[in-house]
Amino acid sequence: MLLHILNRSPATSEVFRQALAAMGPDDRLLLIEDGVQGAVGALFGRFSGLEGRLYAQEEDLVARGLAPLCAPSVVRVDVEGFVTLTEEAQKTVSWF
């Protein structure tokens, strides 16, 4: 299982498509920085099918005022949770 890390908003970058195409069936996706916009509203639809495997960095949601809008199925993790995700994955892949 790999942890994919995405720091770009689906609204401004198409790199999320490459991340999704590269993901295996058990891989996880963590949204960080502007990537957390993908956990909110219509942009969340870009990641349909990842329920239970889609994570968002809590601090980055809060910094952008998006925490109250985060889709319920997105797993919110603080930076300690980020570290835990890297522990559980064999490797990490960063998309930017």
Partner 1 sequence: MMRYAILLMGAPYSSQAAHSALRFARAVAARGHRLEGVFFYHDGVHNAARLAAPPQDEPHLVDGWAALAADHGVPLQVCIAAALRRGLLDEREAARHGKQGHSVEPPFELTGLGQLVDLGLRCDRLVTFGP
Task: State the maximum Cα–Cα separation within the chain, in Å, rounded to a whole number.
Answer: 32
**CB burial string 31-57: b at 16+ within 10 A, e below:** bbbbbbbbbbeebbeebeebeebbbbb
- What x-and-dash track marks residues 7-46 binding partner 1 by CB under 8 A? x------------------------xxx------------
Q: Is 86 in the site for partner 1 (CB under 8 A)?
A: yes
Residue ranges binding partner 1 (CB under 8 A): 5, 7, 32-34, 59-60, 79-80, 82-83, 86-87, 91-92, 94-96
